[in-house]
Amino acid sequence: MRLRVKDMDIATGRVLVATLNEKDAEKLDINALDRIKVKKGRNTETVVVNIAEGKIAVPKGKIGVSEGVVDSLKLKKNDIVDIALARKPLSISHIKKKLDGQRLSKKEINQIVWDIVNNKLSGIEIAYFVSACYTHRLTLNETVMLTKAMVGHGDILKLDKYPIIDKHCIGGVPGNRTTIVLVPIIAAAGLTMPKTSSRSITSPAGTADTMEVLANVSLSIKEMKRIVNKIGCSIVWGGALNLAPADDKIIQVERPLGIDAESQLLASIMAKKHSVSSTHIIIDIPVGKGAKIEKKKDAQKLKKEFEAIGKKLKKHIKVVITNGSQPIGNGIGPALEARDVLWLLKRDYKAPLDLERKCIILASETFRMAGIKDGRKKALEILNSGKAYKKMKEIIKIQGGNPNINPDKIKLGRYSFTIKSSKNSVVRDIDNIAVSKIARVAGAPFAKGAGIYLYKHAGKKVKRGEILFTVYAESKERLKYAKDVLKKLNPFVLK
């Protein structure tokens, strides 16, 4: 069938989509979400079909195409294209196999990952794969094969260094900005740490969001390699690189579903670490109410699985189980967290001590894993001597930021409100989920200056009239939303 092109001026993201009028679809017995081949000259692309009822959106004789199809086939308005029914991707049958609880082969896993990377699977089909792995957990060998497939279908940062240090936190705890402190400490000791980090999906800030307050994080893999070879480290956004791209697409589906399949979590983390050629990896698993892992026994189980997959991939793994029962640090939100980090590195009295303690624990374990004795003493010496701050200034400068930025001058949201204690008491608990929700409603992480600043932590005494926390927003409207949410949620529980 030959149809005339109509540019829908819609970006559909990773999946290529075309829309047919229902009358044209009937002629070829095509249904919604079927696949068709669209051919223009020598170029052919397989796309997912939407059906338009009536003639307003897409009239009979026309085909509406998304921007991805326009770009791929170099189409112009009213071009003539040929369409034909296409078979479903090979990986559909493999996904069905996993839904039935059967084990997948290396070839089958590779095909699934290839189809994900090359946009052959719709979001629904990827969701079925995620659900299959959630319901019928991948074996250790399947997880290793998935990890290697993810790495194999992306770029790899190759460095002529040893050891190469990396770090990952499971997440779920607001603040907890240890990476931006840990990288300069480790690099100042002469070790190599090419850190790629994520932006936030459900939290008030990811490491990349916070680092972006201080420097550019959207670098190419070539630029990242140059930086690491020159100063021994980097703190960049992994999404700007083509490292394990299948993982990013799987995560996009997992988040709305609220599914975090454990085997995919393992493959996801290890694929990103494998793709930067890391040899020594420290994993932080915070445990506590509101964190991703709420029970110690679940953390211990996950720890053993990380160690097992690390052994299979010939990686040195150190898993540290930490306290995730409340936010780490005082600032929650990109700019507020950036202030905490710089105050800590500058040894300013305003630095949050809980964040410092955790960073020293992680640095100590990292040094021990890398063969450096008395890691705690080494970490403290690097911090107190100013070597870590000096290295941080190098990172900021080489990534295009101002190395002399004053943390006290970092711009926060111009609108704010403060909550004070109504009585003499003790802070019994701080709700991780409530804190994250309020900070996000206030505008974080997209509004860099939005978020929450905590003046008290759990276990601390508080007098009547003392400040518990301040909420910042960049607009009056956002501040109003945060106040409305605060009426329904209670982030601070006082005894």
Which residue, of 85, 117, 152, is where some domain finishes?
Answer: 85
Average pLDDT over residues 237-261: 80
For position 38, which CATH number holds? Answer: 2.40.40.20
Question: Do residues 342 and 390 both lie within one domain?
Answer: yes
Domain extent for 486: 411-494
Question: Do residues 380 and 415 both lie within one domain?
Answer: no
Coil, strand or helix: which one is 193? strand
Asked if the structure places residue 147 within a domain, the reply is no
Asked if the structure places residue 154 within a domain, the reply is no
Cα–Cα separations (whole angstroms), residue 49 to 15, 65, 246: 11, 10, 22
Question: Do residues 336 and 386 both lie within one domain?
Answer: yes
Both tokens of 301, joined, read: 């189980």
Lowest mean pLDDT among 77-81, 197-201, 284-288: 197-201
Asked if the structure places residue 480 within a domain, the reply is yes
* Residues with catalytic function: 260
Question: Do residues 358 and 481 both lie within one domain?
Answer: no
Question: Do residues 209 and 104 both lie within one domain?
Answer: no
Both tokens of 36, joined, read: 């068709």
Q: Residue 20: is its pLDDT beyond 70?
A: yes
Asked if the structure places residue 324 within a domain, the reply is yes
Give the pLDDT confidence score for residue 234 in this predicted structure.
97
Question: Do residues 186 and 218 both lie within one domain?
Answer: yes
Question: Do residues 265 and 342 both lie within one domain?
Answer: yes
How many Å apart are CA 166 and CA 283, to the nearest integer?
A: 9
Run of H or E including 483: helix 476-488
C-beta separation of 264 from 140 below 8 A: no
Question: Do residues 66 and 187 both lie within one domain?
Answer: no
| Prediction pTM value | 0.87
- 260: pLDDT confidence band, cut at 50, 70 and 90? low
How many structural domains are present in the chain?
Answer: 4
Question: Do residues 121 and 194 both lie within one domain?
Answer: no
Percentage, residues of the chain above pLDDT 70? 98
Q: Residue 100: is its pLDDT beyond 70?
A: yes
